[in-house]
């Protein structure tokens, strides 16, 4: 990374000694002394961005002195000064679901720059990039000692094309490292190994310069590392690619919400219970597009693993990040996880010298504040379909009962329509109906010779999974202790529950083994199934056929309970309609109970070997039991040993063969990796932004449409457009894998856009799945309709509600939208990452104004939409006229706000997207 010198901020450069080294750094105090403003009251999270401005100030071309002074004005203006700035993170983190398409784009850019007469070697990451393969393991095998081995074998069988491609990328590109499969989840690997809190590099004179460790990642939960005082957040792959190619991230100086933590958690309450409460509070407060910084004396009682749990779920509460300043606990964690002692000394010295250290009287200016006393937090779960739907454990059974009552009052779907939906969408009836002759939705089932009854609320998936909780030894040890106590009492999981344990790193297995708890988890079915993201991203694998059939034939509302961060509709399993987030020990408890209708706080989990009732209190460990075991088994040496050869991989990875070539030899027969069309036939000069004329509505969508709705990651059936594409290429349904694994093939992903089995297009009456009205007015798959409109040169728009694009930072939600021919998305509000991704793919996001929305405008999807004011002097955040022509000929004009937030984004749109912008600049240079 180039370190800027020779400008006005060169005089803010200072030297400090730490450990055995002496390093230079850019001093915020010196900037104040130089008359650039008083920065003493800035939150630590914003000081990180300020330091970035000092280090890259270049006299005004990218960062000006006025940009730096704006941070002082931010404090005097009460935490608000939305000035556009150019921010450069130190590094980029990827996982394979989002990383494969990013590397595909880089490979395509090498082809593209050669076509423009440029040098392919200009397409190289300028900043360090780490890609962790963690999203490809599927839970096919579970509950047996061979589960891990079998799932790994299947993972390599399904994904060899992708892994060969990634290994080629590691060799072909500079500054690009791959952490092989089976190592862990990218965020936990980042937290435990990659992150340094304070980074160092050499400048053009060979001097070492220290600066805050910062990053962007292609996974929304990149925010987890903010628990270690590393500023980072999720971006789409296209924005990450631009960042790694040296393009600064254009952003507005954010507001910073201060979240004061006081008190300490009480007996029996976990970090998961705390974060679910935090999510609820911050969603209510409103923090979309803002930083959240946690402060207060309560942090003295909060281990870093708990901080990382809270930071992880920033996407769920809607913030850009949830930041924790550096303090003694930061140093303790760095030491425990095996970081070098000189690095730890540098972190302490730098933080104290440059104003990043959290002191006892730490009280900066915030844009707004809220407060939580940890002692008021109670055991809880969240569900059945949103992370912010917080439910106290004492109310969980009754709340679920109320949810079922509401579902059963839903209007019935005509039998013919139901049949069509089940066949075409491959999903159960979206509007449950009472089956004659039954008082309750309940059915007999027989699996492995065991007869039992399933009903609404039967827990069929219980999964300890995801980066959110498996990074936290306190909740993992607690889960193991629940398993131990249950085993001692003779209690076991219910036979219809699919149980799994997918740790975030190999270190987790080390300390569970050291504590003897893995044997106890194995005994009740929580065998190791793999290291990576599983159930939380839809890689839950198939349920046993008999259970799946019983659920779907009898229209049951089956339940999953997972220790993850996402429980959106259609995400976890196509057989499961109600999904709940819970702490790992509660996941074990629900596996023992097997039913969401059971009140775990008052009713027995089951009967022990002596026929006695066993209650939750009988198996729940004390806080002291947990902390004593964590202190005795989680060691520095474990982390050092497990990360010693983190990039080496096992014998399978080492055996993957690649060719040594500057550009990629795209295999024409591959159904995983295809050369995308973005840069083919691209001109050397940018174009213009055109008005949208005579557009038809492709989808009319409601509130909280997530990127899972827009671009699902899970499995798909042969009857879907994606399934038909693979079937035509002789791919068997058992080898379809998932949308997520096939993100390197745009043909699959176009067909999967807006294809979530739970998405509801309001143009159709009560239908779930990826359907719309085609040009002839008939119901058909969205992909098929979009291709017909493309043949007619008809532009398309998508209409949405509140918080459009919430959830994962998946760029394919924007890429697929673009490739379907959508020119604009009009919604009431957008989530931060998806708005940016749309612009990055040349799709313009617009917000309704003046209280207008799809309902007040009586939109049905039959209207024709035109948007003017784009082809002239189009400015960021412009108000533009939109004309709606209704089916009866009535015309109405409304005003839309273009959510193109910065001048740089205007340039992106003129070029057709951010990657086209970067490619043209590199070719011209």
Query: pLDDT-based confidence at 1, cuts 50/70/90?
Result: very low
Helix (H) / strand (E) element for 419: namely helix 415-425
Q: Which of 218-227, 290-299, 805-814 has the lowest mean pLDDT?
A: 805-814
For residues 250 and 490, which has the higher predicted lDDT (pLDDT)?
A: 490
* Per-residue model confidence (pLDDT) at position 714: 82
Cα–Cα distance for residue pair 586/620, rounded to 1 Å: 9
> CA–CA distance from 439 to each of 155, 434, 436, 452, 455 (Å)?
43, 8, 8, 18, 11
* Per-residue model confidence (pLDDT) at position 441: 62
Each residue's pLDDT tens digit, 234-269: 987 788 888 888 888 888 999 999 999 999 999 999
Instruction: Say which residue the tokens 């902390």 belong to.
Output: 627
Each residue's pLDDT tens digit, 73-101: 999 999 999 998 999 999 999 998 888 88
Cα–Cα distance for residue pair 34/42, rounded to 1 Å: 17
**Maximal C-alpha separation, the chain:** 83
Q: Which of 48-52, 62-66, 369-373, 446-450 has the lowest mean pLDDT?
A: 446-450
Burial of 106-140, coded b for 16+ CB within 10 Å and e otherwise, reads bbbbbbbbeeeebebebbbbebbbbbbbbbbbbbb
Domains of the chain (ranges, CATH numbers): 8-87 (no CATH), 381-621 (3.30.499.10), 692-711+753-924 (3.20.19.10)
* Per-residue model confidence (pLDDT) at position 414: 37
* Per-residue model confidence (pLDDT) at position 424: 25
* Per-residue model confidence (pLDDT) at position 2: 42
* Residue 427 near residue 758, CB atoms below 8 Å: yes
* Per-residue model confidence (pLDDT) at position 4: 44
Eight-class DSSP state of 138: -
Residue 51 gets the label, from left (phi > 0), alpha (psi -120 to 50) or beta, of: alpha
Averaged pLDDT, 858-866: 97
Beta carbons within 10 angstroms of residue 439's beta carbon: 6
Give Cβ neighbours of residue 38 (< 8 Å, ≥ 6 apart).
32, 72, 75, 76
Query: pLDDT-based confidence at 447, cuts 50/70/90?
Result: low
Eight-class DSSP state of 299: G
Both tokens of 765, joined, read 């009456």
Cα–Cα distance for residue pair 541/777, rounded to 1 Å: 37
What mean pLDDT value characterizes the chain?
A: 91
Alpha helices in 77-185 (DSSP H): 96-115, 147-172
* Per-residue model confidence (pLDDT) at position 25: 96
Closest C-alpha to 906, from 866, 877, 882, 881: 877
Give Cβ neighbours of residue 33 (< 8 Å, ≥ 6 apart).
none
User: Above 60 in pLDDT, residue 425?
Assistant: no
* Per-residue model confidence (pLDDT) at position 236: 79
Task: Quote the pTM value.
Answer: 0.83
Burial of 239-259, coded b for 16+ CB within 10 Å and e otherwise, reads bbbbbbbbbbbbbebbbbbbb
Each residue's pLDDT tens digit, 361-397: 999 999 999 999 999 999 999 999 988 899 999 999 9
Cα–Cα distance for residue pair 479/878, rounded to 1 Å: 52
Helix 832-840, helix 914-924: angle, nearest 10: 50
Helix (H) / strand (E) element for 517: namely helix 517-523
Backbone φ and ψ for 907, nearest 5 degrees, come out as -65, -40
User: Above 90 in pLDDT, residue 408?
Assistant: no
Query: pLDDT-based confidence at 9, cuts 50/70/90?
Result: low
Backbone φ and ψ for 537, nearest 5 degrees, come out as -110, 15
The three-state secondary structure class of 271 is helix
Q: Which of 332-341, 403-412, 496-505, 739-748 has the lowest mean pLDDT?
A: 403-412
Side-chain-facing half-sphere of 105: CA atoms under 13 Å: 27
Closest C-alpha to 103, from 11, 169, 162, 51: 169
* Residue 581 near residue 564, CB atoms below 8 Å: yes
* Per-residue model confidence (pLDDT) at position 800: 98
User: Above 80 in pLDDT, residue 735?
Assistant: yes
Averaged pLDDT, 52-58: 92
Cα–Cα distance for residue pair 784/550, rounded to 1 Å: 32
Both tokens of 779, joined, read 């119901």
Both tokens of 871, joined, read 């082809």
The three-state secondary structure class of 882 is strand
Closest C-alpha to 653, from 153, 181, 130: 181
Strand partners, 822: 796
Give Cβ neighbours of residue 555 (< 8 Å, ≥ 6 apart).
428, 429, 432, 433, 435, 441
Each residue's pLDDT tens digit, 879-891: 999 999 999 999 9
* Per-residue model confidence (pLDDT) at position 449: 58
First-last CA distance in the chain: 19
User: Above 60 in pLDDT, residue 319?
Assistant: yes
The three-state secondary structure class of 292 is strand
Cα–Cα distance for residue pair 581/561, rounded to 1 Å: 6
> CA–CA distance from 707 to each of 80, 128, 808, 815 (Å)?
29, 27, 6, 11
Cα–Cα distance for residue pair 274/375, rounded to 1 Å: 10
Eight-class DSSP state of 622: P
Cα–Cα distance for residue pair 386/569, rounded to 1 Å: 8
Both tokens of 88, joined, read 């450069």
Query: pLDDT-based confidence at 616, cuts 50/70/90?
Result: very high
* Per-residue model confidence (pLDDT) at position 448: 57
């Amino acid at each position: 990374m180039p370190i800027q010198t020779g400008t006005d901020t060169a005089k803010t450069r200072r030297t400090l000694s730490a450990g055995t080294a002496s390093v230079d750094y850019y001093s915020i105090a010196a900037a104040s002394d130089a008359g650039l403003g008083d920065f003493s009251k800035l939150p630590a999270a914003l000081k990180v961005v300020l330091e970035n401005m000092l280090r890259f100030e270049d006299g005004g071309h990218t960062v000006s002195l006025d940009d730096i002074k704006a941070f002082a004005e931010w404090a005097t203006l009460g935490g608000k000064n939305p000035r556009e700035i150019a921010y450069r993170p130190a590094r980029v983190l990827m996982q394979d679901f989002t990383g494969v398409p990013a590397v595909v784009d880089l490979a395509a850019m090498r082809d593209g720059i050669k076509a423009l007469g440029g040098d392919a070697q200009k397409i190289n990451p300028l900043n360090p990039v780490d890609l962790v393969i963690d999203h490809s393991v599927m839970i096919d095998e579970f509950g047996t000692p061979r589960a891990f081995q079998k799932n790994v074998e299947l993972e390599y069988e399904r994904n060899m094309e992708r892994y060969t491609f990634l290994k080629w990328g590691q060799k072909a590109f500079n500054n690009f490292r791959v952490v092989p499969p089976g190592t862990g989840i990218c965020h936990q690997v980042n937290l435990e190994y990659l992150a340094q809190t304070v980074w160092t590099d050499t400048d053009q004179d060979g001097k070492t310069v220290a600066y805050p460790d910062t990053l962007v990642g292609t996974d929304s939960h990149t925010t987890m590392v903010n628990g270690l005082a590393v500023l980072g957040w999720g971006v789409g792959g296209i924005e990450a690619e631009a960042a790694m190619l040296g393009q600064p991230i254009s952003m507005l100086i954010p507001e910073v919400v201060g979240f004061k933590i006081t008190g300490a958690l009480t007996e029996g309450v976990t970090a998961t219970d705390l974060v679910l409460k935090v999510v609820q509070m911050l969603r209510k407060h409103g923090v979309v597009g803002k930083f959240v910084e946690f402060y207060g004396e309560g942090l003295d009682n909060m281990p870093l693993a708990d901080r990382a749990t809270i930071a992880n779920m920033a996407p769920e509460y809607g913030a850009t990040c949830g930041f924790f300043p550096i303090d003694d606990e930061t140093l303790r964690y760095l030491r425990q996880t095996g970081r070098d002692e000189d690095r730890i000394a540098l972190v302490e010295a730098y933080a104290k010298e440059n104003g990043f250290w959290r002191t006892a009287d730490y009280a900066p200016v915030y844009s707004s504040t809220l407060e939580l006393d940890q002692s008021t937090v109670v055991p809880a779960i969240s569900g059945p379909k949103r992370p912010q739907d917080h439910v106290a454990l004492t109310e969980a059974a009754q709340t679920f009962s109320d949810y079922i009552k509401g579902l059963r009052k839903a209007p019935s779907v005509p039998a013919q329509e139901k049949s069509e939906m089940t066949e075409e969408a491959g999903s159960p009836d979206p509007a449950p109906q009472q089956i004659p002759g039954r008082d309750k939705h309940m059915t007999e089932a027989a699996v492995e010779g065991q007869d039992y009854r399933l009903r609404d609320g039967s827990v069929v998936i219980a999964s300890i999974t995801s980066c959110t909780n498996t990074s936290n030894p306190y909740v993992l040890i607690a889960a193991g202790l629940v398993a131990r106590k249950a085993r001692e009492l003779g209690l076991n999981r219910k036979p219809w529950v699919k149980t799994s344990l997918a740790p975030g790193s190999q270190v987790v297995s080390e300390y569970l083994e050291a504590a003897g708890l893995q044997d106890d988890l194995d005994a009740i079915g929580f065998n190791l199934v793999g290291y990576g993201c599983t159930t939380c991203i839809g890689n839950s694998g198939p349920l046993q056929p008999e259970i799946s059939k019983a659920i779907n034939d009898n229209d049951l509302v089956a339940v999953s309970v997972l220790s993850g961060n996402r429980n959106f509709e259609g995400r976890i399993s196509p057989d499961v309609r109600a999904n709940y987030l819970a702490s790992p020990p509660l996941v074990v408890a629900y596996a023992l109970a097997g039913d969401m209708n059971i009140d775990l706080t008052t009713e027995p989990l089951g009967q022990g070997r002596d026929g006695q009732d066993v209650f939750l209190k009988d198996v729940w460990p004390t806080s002291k039991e947990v902390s004593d075991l964590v202190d005795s088994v989680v060691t520095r040496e474990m982390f050092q040993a497990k990360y010693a050869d983190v990039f080496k991989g096992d014998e399978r990875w080492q055996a993957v063969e690649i060719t040594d070539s500057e550009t990629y030899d795209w295999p024409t027969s591959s159904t995983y990796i295809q050369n995308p069309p973005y840069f083919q036939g691209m001109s050397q000069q940018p174009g213009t932004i055109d008005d949208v004329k005579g557009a038809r509505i492709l989808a009319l969508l409601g509130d909280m449409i997530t990127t899972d709705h827009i671009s699902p990651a899970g499995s798909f059936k042969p009857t879907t457009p994606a399934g038909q594409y693979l079937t035509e290429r002789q791919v068997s349904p058992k080898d379809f894998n998932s949308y997520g694994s096939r993100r390197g093939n745009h043909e699959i992903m176009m067909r999967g856009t807006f294809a979530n089995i739970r998405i509801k297009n309001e143009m159709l009456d009560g239908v779930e799945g990826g359907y719309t009205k085609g040009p002839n007015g008939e119901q058909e798959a969205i992909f098929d309709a979009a291709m017909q409109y493309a043949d007619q040169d008809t532009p398309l728009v998508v209409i949405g509600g509140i918080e459009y694009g919430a959830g994962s930072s998946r760029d394919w939600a924007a890429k697929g939208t673009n490739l379907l021919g959508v020119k604009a998305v009009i919604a009431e509000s957008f989530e931060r990452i998806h708005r940016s991704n749309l612009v990055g793919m040349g799709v313009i996001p617009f917000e309704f104004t003046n209280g207008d929305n799809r309902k007040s405008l009586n939109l049905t999807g039959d209207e024709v939409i035109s948007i003017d004011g784009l082809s002239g002097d189009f400015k960021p955040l412009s108000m533009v006229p939109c004309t709606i022509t209704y089916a009866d000929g009535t015309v109405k004009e409304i005003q839309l706000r273009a959510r193109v937030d910065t001048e740089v984004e205007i340039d992106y749109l003129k070029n057709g997207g951010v990657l086209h912008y970067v490619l043209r600049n590199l070719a011209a240079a």
